[in-house]
Amino acid sequence: MDSPLLRWDVSSPREVALARMKALGTSVAVPPSTFSLRAESENNENNADRQEELSTALSDTDGLAVPLTSILSSAYDEWLRSARVRCKQVGLHIMTEGLHEEKKDDVEHDNSPAAASSSASTTKFIVHETQATNCLRQVLQLHTKVCQLDSTLAEELGREGSHAVLAKLIRFDMQSEIDMADSIASFNIEEEDADAVMELQDLACEIAAICGGSFPMKVAPFTLDALRSRLPLHFIVSSVPGHNTSTLDCQQHHILIHQVTARRQGAQEDVGFVMWPSAVVLASWVASNPSKVLGKRCLEIGSGCGLTGLATAAIFAAHRVKDEESQIILTDFNETVLQNADRNIHLNDLGGCAATTLCDFYEQTGTNVDGGWIDGSRTTKEPVDVVLAADVICKPEDAVAAANTIYDALRPGGHAYVISGSAKHRFGVDRFKDECDIVGLKVEISNISDIYDGALVSSSQGEDGRRGIEQCSGYVDGMTLSFFHVTKPRT
């Protein structure tokens, strides 16, 4: 088998996500635009051609699961065919060992092409280090890696039919194949053959384990529309044009965001499953004001999918800031949401600048003068310099809890930057300033349309030329957003 996919040395969740996008014809210009190749082709003078072949193989294929399942099925079928043929060859080879010694000497000393061909085709091994075995191993290793890196693709592969192939491999019994071979010879399985089969079955079981209790999945491929809805959203986050003169500050940050698609949003507690407009606008504000976060310990509360925190981490990465004092911690009270945020950190290769932890607004007291917030394990954490929050108020009680959380999380003199839909769009937002006043926080309120002449709303771009906010849930054309600059006074 000479599939270009076998040259793919996939190395990161981001690379798999880009391949999924490319396979559905929705790829965007996200750097880097190339895919990793296997090491043996790195020094090949045709490396550019190989890269193009791989890129073509990943393009417009009705989803990445289709070609990956196809090469798995082909590799298994060829391996099984080869194993059955070699069972017969091995049986015949063993039969010849019972020939008279003089006849064997004639065969051994026969240098004719026919004799050489016969000798080459009758080996005692059935699957050990055969070309078909090596190919199937390589395909299984590719499947293992992509499933480990992208759980969404792992599900798509299962429903496309890869699990049916894996199940057949796991049930494969070499002794049964030997018994069915068209030969009167009986022979024992060599240890090398048994080990080779076990290695392949172990790889198949490893893929099955990645799917948890969902193996084997029934063959039921996703529709193209469903596959596209499962792709990560792409946001190009940049500063407001003309606001910053520094080349580094004007960089565009390509952020990929997986929403939670494995479960349906069924309650208010699940709002973090999807993207919301305020996160897009706050991400653009941070990109336009990098000095507000650089060199600071930052915390995003109610992170949801994590766009604002990831944009902040991307700024740290662009400035090569990875020290402990310049990190952002993404928090949420919903564990499923937080797992998705952690997935998005790795999807964007930002593990060195961002981390996640549980934080429940309703466990914060709003009384910690020196700062210190409580995480999900009830441990009091060190205060931070900056708190970021986007669309964290959905009901009046949230305004109280958000004010308490910001007060406890900030060190004296720290700042919080909060963006939310106005009271017309979000219940309880009109109480937020009053609750901040009660705990001793100072608040300045602005309308987003008055900041940079409203350019924050359009500075982040999405797919197909749309504005970033237009990819979000809860967005309505003409909606008003409020910006809260919150300060914790020094004692």
Last residue of a domain, one of 230, 250, 267: 230
Residue 151 and residue 132: Cα distance in Å, rounded? 28
Both 27 and 86 in a single domain? yes
Both 325 and 358 in a single domain? yes
Of 314-328, 380-394, 458-472, which gets the smallest average pLDDT? 314-328
Q: How far is CA 440 from its chain centroid? A: 41
Residue 20 burial (C-beta neighbours within 10 Å; 0-12, 13-18, 19+): buried
Both 15 and 33 in a single domain? yes
Q: How far is CA 102 from its chain centroid? A: 65
Calculate ∠ Cα 54-58-59, nearest 5°: 120
Output the DSSP codes for 435-457: HHHHHT-EEEEEEGGGGGGGTHH
Cβ 420 vs Cβ 432: under 8 Å: yes
Tens digit of pLDDT for each residue in 223-250?
Answer: 999 999 999 999 999 998 876 555 556 6
What single letter denotes the amino acid at residue 77?
Answer: D
Both 185 and 291 in a single domain? no
pLDDT of residue 190 exceeding 60, the answer is yes
pLDDT of residue 189 exceeding 80, the answer is yes
3-state helix, strand, coil in the chain (%, to 5): 50, 15, 35
Q: Which residue range is the domain that position 19 belongs to? A: 1-230
Both 38 and 124 in a single domain? yes
pLDDT of residue 31 exceeding 70, the answer is no
Residue 87 and residue 126: Cα distance in Å, rounded? 6
> What is the predicted pLDDT for the residue at 486?
98
Residue 354, classed as helix, strand or coil, is strand
Tens digit of pLDDT for each residue in 76-87?
Answer: 999 999 999 888
Residue 29, classed as helix, strand or coil, is coil
Of 139-153, 270-284, 304-318, which gets the smallest average pLDDT? 270-284
Both 161 and 293 in a single domain? no
Of 106-120, 329-343, 376-390, 417-431, which gets the smallest average pLDDT? 106-120
Q: How far is CA 441 from its chain centroid? A: 38
* CATH number reported for the structural domain that contains residue 461 in this entry: 3.40.50.150
Residue 260 and residue 77: Cα distance in Å, rounded? 36
Both 370 and 413 in a single domain? yes
Both 365 and 221 in a single domain? no
Residue 68, classed as helix, strand or coil, is helix
Residue 302, beta-bridge partner list: none
Both 213 and 243 in a single domain? no
Q: Is the pTM of this model over 0.95?
A: no
pLDDT of residue 29 exceeding 70, the answer is no
Last residue of a domain, one of 213, 230, 247: 230
Last residue of a domain, one of 215, 230, 245: 230
pLDDT of residue 265 exceeding 80, the answer is no
Average pLDDT, the chain: 86
Both 91 and 201 in a single domain? yes
> What is the predicted pLDDT for the residue at 215?
92
Both 205 and 74 in a single domain? yes
Of 17-31, 154-168, 434-448, which gets the smallest average pLDDT? 17-31
Residue 51, classed as helix, strand or coil, is helix
> What is the predicted pLDDT for the residue at 140?
98
- The residue behind tokens 């698609």 is 261
- Looking at per-residue pLDDT, the higher value among 360 and 320 belongs to 360
Both 191 and 328 in a single domain? no
How many structural domains does the chain have? 2
Output the DSSP codes for 382-420: PPEEEEEEES--SSHHHHHHHHHHHHHHEEEEEEEEEEE
Cβ 51 vs Cβ 213: under 8 Å: no
> What is the predicted pLDDT for the residue at 125?
86
pLDDT of residue 459 exceeding 70, the answer is yes
- What band does 470 get if pLDDT is binned at 50, 70 and 90? confident
Cβ 382 vs Cβ 410: under 8 Å: no
Using the 8-state DSSP alphabet, how is residue 461 labeled? B
Residue 236, beta-bridge partner list: 254, 461
